Amino acid sequence: MQTIEQSFTVKFEYKTYFTKSIFSVENLLFRQVIAGEGKKKVFFVIDSGVAEAHPTLSDDIKAYSVQHQEVIDWRGTMVVQGGEEVKNDESWVQKILQAVSDYAICRHSYIVAIGGGAVLDMVGFAAAIAHRGVRHIRIPTTVLSQNDSGVGVKNSINTFGKKNFTGTFKPPQAVINDSDFLLTLDIRDWRSGISEAIKVALIKDKSFFEQIVADIALLNARNMDAMQRLIYQCAEMHIRHIAGKDPFEMGSSRPLDFGHWAAHKLEQLTHHQIRHGEAVAIGIALDTTYSFLIKLMTESEWKAVINLIKNLGFAVYHPALLAEEKDGYALMKGLQEFKEHLGGELTIMLLEKIGKGVETHHIDSMLMMEAVRLLFRL
């Protein structure tokens, strides 16, 4: 028998920038991100919700590109469906691929996605499979995408009725967080992203949790300084985690998905009528309650988590949690789907205390449903 063995390492590096008015011609950041090896073809994809809230955005992008045409070869702008629907309809990926072909976008060109997390996921996936990888830049426009999904390395669409079933790990060339986009968010989208900050604080940093508690009134009043503080710290913690042990999730552990096994299933059961962040808030409440019921954490800390979630305006319960099917509660199928998505043994993050997560490989289904009923009674 003959064997040829190969091993190599690929280094990935990208920066997350924080700015405002990114396409003001006086703001040189975007130009600097693109600049390097001569003039680059750039194709822009905009979330329809963002386009509606910022009606001059397409014109601003074109004007910026003309102003800096020695660096930017503007190849067009496409507006795509916003929200989770863009991940449910595979035709949007095909439209991006068609544009790559039509506009002669190559592997040294850039696809720039401007929008919420769902649009960033879809465009990133299309960029990853076009020519086996076209450079892409993310410009997240929601709290949730600026502090969580937009700063990571994952891209995906939903297929077979399952969230993120089809996707890739491909880091962006850069992430640009522009605070101006947050000014036009409705209250649900403003609030929604806070749940991801609660999540990372609960499993990693008690002092961050306490800061969120202290800022409840400011966050509810849409204070930009408080939100920017939250976004920066949450994004930094996510980025540091991604750079750690398992950035491409080769193992069975996925601690940053605390509360997400139930959240993903709840989104599916409600046909995405609730926002991802709203579902995550409920998922966090559920797994925290389960942690309390198995005596992993104290009652006082459990109440502190539930009170924070409720005081920020989130629900901790949804009727879909108790939806029944022929073979039991629909919610509990989320555990198997979560395991299938990652592979290996079931690994769920629970809470030992605020600021410290602990992994388990077994969930008592009856006790989990008792946790649901307890949340219903709150």
55: phi then psi, degrees, rounded to nearest 5: -65, -20
Crossing angle for the helix pair 276-293 and 194-204, to the nearest 10 degrees: 30
Over range 40-53, report the average pLDDT. 97
| pLDDT at residue 60 is higher than 90 | yes
What percent of the chain has a predicted confidence (pLDDT) above 90?
81
How high is the pLDDT of residue 38? 80
| pLDDT at residue 74 is higher than 90 | yes
End-to-end CA distance of the chain: 66
20: phi then psi, degrees, rounded to nearest 5: -145, 155
Query: What strands, in cross-sheet order, belong to the sheet with 135-140?
Result: 15-19, 174-178, 135-140, 110-115, 40-47, 72-80
What percent of the chain has a predicted confidence (pLDDT) above 70?
96
Q: In the predicted model, what is the mean pLDDT of the chain? A: 93
Kindly indicate the confidence band of residue 12, based on its pLDDT and cuts at 50, 70 and 90: confident
pLDDT tens digit sequence for 309-368? 999 999 999 999 999 888 889 999 988 888 776 667 888 999 999 999 999 999 999 999
Q: Six-digit token pair at 25?
A: 């011609």
Which stretch of DSSP H or E encloses residue 283?
Answer: helix 276-293
How high is the pLDDT of residue 255? 65
Which stretch of DSSP H or E encloses residue 29?
Answer: helix 29-34
CATH class for the domain made up of 15-184: alpha beta
**Coil, strand or helix: which one is 150?**
helix
175: phi then psi, degrees, rounded to nearest 5: -120, 130
pTM: 0.89
How high is the pLDDT of residue 290? 97
How high is the pLDDT of residue 252? 44
Q: Give per-residue burial for 110-146: e unless 16+ CB within 10 Å, then b.
A: bbbbbbbbbbbbbbbbbbbbbeeebbbbbbbbbbbbb
How do the domains of the chain map onto residue ranges? Answer: 15-184, 187-377
**CATH number at 187-377:** 1.20.1090.10
Q: What length does the chain have?
A: 378
pLDDT tens digit sequence for 267-323? 999 998 999 999 999 999 999 999 999 999 999 999 999 999 999 999 999 999 999
pLDDT tens digit sequence for 195-238? 999 999 999 999 999 999 999 999 999 999 999 999 999 999 98
